[in-house]
Amino acid sequence: MMQNSPVNQQEGARRVVVLSGPSGSGKTTLVRRLLQEAPVRLVKAVSATTRQPRPTEKPGDDYYFLTDAEFRRRLRDGEFVEHAEVFGSGFLYGTLRSELERAWKDAGWAFLEIDVQGALKVMQQYPEAVTIFLRASSPQEFERRLRKRGTEAEGLLQKRLAAAAEELKLADRYQHVVVNDELEQAVREICAILKAEEYRRNAG
Ligand code: ADP
Ligand code: 5GP
């Protein structure tokens, strides 16, 4: 099995971890915790997007907020590892190759928090990537959390819920599925996965 065999040096040096999960599964919350507490060096790959920043978000920290024209120019110039139009909202999201390189230069894991369409593309390009799908235990729980967060208008919220149902169907394409009902438990589980993968790569 690929999961148990040693990895070669080149692959070991290009460490990638992909975290996906429907809107409301708790990705943002978890990423914040993992960046502080993970037992390995995680470097968040800051995505580019054409959506507007939320009041709490900082450009260059949470996302690179680009105009549609700028995003498409960079796409044409081959700067993205993957990109997707998420939730049929008309907004583009993508991972810049330079973000992965930044992480590797820093001897870290490039940590990608991206949707399932993007994750499938990354899996093809980086078969050694560690892939984690995050979910809540029920659709009702996704909805409750999104309403509590209160960052989307009703129309967009409904789109996100519909997309969540689609994304859940692809959970079995990931190496690990983590249920985020109890935040501390989910943080511990992901930390254990990362520690084991780091050990395996160092041994390889
Ligand atoms: P995502 O980034 O996946 O859309 P967020 O991290 O924004 O999700 O979480 C959505 C909402 O759910 C936030 O209000 C967050 O505080 C809350 N939340 C996250 N994890 C949990 C959990 N384990 N239990 C209850 N609420 C949670
Ligand atoms: P949000 O708008 O809530 O920040 O993110 C919406 C969705 O976009 C989430 O599912 C998130 O994982 C996804 N996303 C964020 N950045 C990227 C990216 O670079 N590529 C892809 N494919 N999806 C992304």
Q: Tell whether the model's pLDDT for residue 68 goes beyond 70.
A: yes
Strand partners, 47: 63
Residue-wise pLDDT tens digits, 145-185: 989 988 888 988 888 888 888 899 999 999 999 999 999 99
**How far, in Å, CA of 117 to CA of 83, rounded?**
8
Closest protein CA for atom 21 of ligand 2: 114
Task: Answer positive or negative: Cα dihedral of 55, 61, 63, 65.
Answer: positive
Considering all CA atoms of the chain, what is the largest pairwise distance in Å, rounded to the nearest integer? 50
Lowest-confidence pick of 61-65, 76-80, 157-161: 157-161
Nearest to residue 16, comparing CAs of 106, 130, 179, 119? 130
Q: What is the helix (H) or strand (E) element at residue 95, kind and residue range?
A: strand 92-96
Only one residue has tokens 């590892």, namely 81
Asked if pLDDT for residue 82 goes beyond 70, the answer is yes
Q: Which residue has the higher pLDDT, 84 or 90?
A: 84
* Residues with Cβ within 8 Å of residue 103, at least 6 apart in sequence: 15, 43, 45, 109, 110, 111
Answer whether 47 contacts ligand 2 (Cβ < 6 A): yes
Q: What's the CA-to-centroid distance between 145 and ligand 1, angstroms?
A: 6
Amino acid 3: pLDDT? 44
Backbone φ and ψ of 50, nearest 5°: -100, 0
Ligand number, closest to the Cα atom of 180? 1
The closest alpha carbon to 3, from 170, 177, 201, belongs to 201
Instruction: For ligand 2, pick from 86, 95, 133 the residue to mutate: most ligand atoms within 8 Å of CB.
Output: 86
Per DSSP, helices labelled H in the chain are: 9-13, 27-37, 68-76, 97-105, 116-125, 139-149, 154-168, 183-203
Give residue 88's pLDDT band: very low, low, confident or very high (50, 70, 90): low
Written as six digits, the tokens of 124 are 């093809």
pLDDT score, position 1: 38
Residue 94 Cβ contacting ligand 2 at under 6 Å = yes
> What confidence tens digit (pLDDT) does each residue in 97-151 have?
999 999 999 999 999 999 999 999 999 999 999 999 999 988 888 889 989 988 8
| Non-local CB neighbours of 36 within 8 Å, separated by 6+ positions | none
pLDDT above 50: residue 67: yes
Specify the pLDDT at position 40.
97
Contact 157, 147 (CB under 8 A): yes
Q: How far is the CA of 43 from the centre of ligand 1 (A)?
A: 21
pLDDT beyond 60 at 18:
yes
Query: Lowest-confidence range among 30-39, 87-96, 122-131, 170-179?
Result: 87-96
Q: Which domains does the chain have, with CATH numbers?
A: 12-203 (3.40.50.300)
Mean pLDDT of 55-65: 95
Residue 67 is given by DSSP the state -
